[in-house]
Amino acid sequence: MRNIMRTSTDDNLKSGSKVLSSSSNKFDSKNLITIKSRFGKIEVDKSKQISFKHGILGIPRAVTFCLTKLPTITSDQFKLLQCLEDEELSFIVVPAQYDNRLIDSQDLDEACKVLDIKTDKLLLLFIVTIHENGTKREISVNAKAPVLIDVESKTANQYVLQNPSYKIQHKIS
């Protein structure tokens, strides 16, 4: 699988994932809830919830999510974006750095400006799709409409980039 993230350490990615991830070691037991997701039981800390201003594209009712580890996968590359309003609604996502291989920094700057997110407070997520064709499995990410999260305000938007070169199904494996 091609790694879409740079190999160098990126503080935004690490701190953003840590601040928002319900899989960190610091749970607030008052806010801890158990969800029976499509991937199994997961525990999330509601104090780390992320609010989508307009919901996920095509699902405007889905506005509150938590970012957590996938219970069935040990890889840290993939995370689960779990809806809190609907336990059956979740997305496998891959966090990426601001300086990544898929989206030009000028396009990210424009998106951040429109959404009023400081680039040093940005957590970028790509929604993953797994395509199975018989014995062959391909993984793609939506590079056309990534999720941009402001880690300070814990607000998010799925933003459609205007550049026509980005694909909805950008193959990574």
Q: Domain 11-171, what architecture?
A: Roll (2.30)
Confidence band, pLDDT 50/70/90 cuts, at residue 9:
very low
Position 173 scores a pLDDT of 82
Domain map (residue ranges) of the chain: 11-171
- Bridge partner residues of 35 (DSSP): 42
Which three-class secondary structure state does DSSP give residue 159?
coil
Query: How far apart are the C-alpha atoms of 62 and 107, rounded to whole Å?
Result: 26
- Dump pLDDT digits (tens) for 32-75: 888 988 888 998 888 899 999 899 999 999 999 999 988 877 77
- Bridge partner residues of 67 (DSSP): 21, 81
- Dump pLDDT digits (tens) for 93-149: 999 999 898 999 999 999 999 999 999 999 999 999 999 988 888 999 999 999 999
Confidence band, pLDDT 50/70/90 cuts, at residue 92:
very high
Is the entire prediction scored with pTM above 0.75?
A: yes
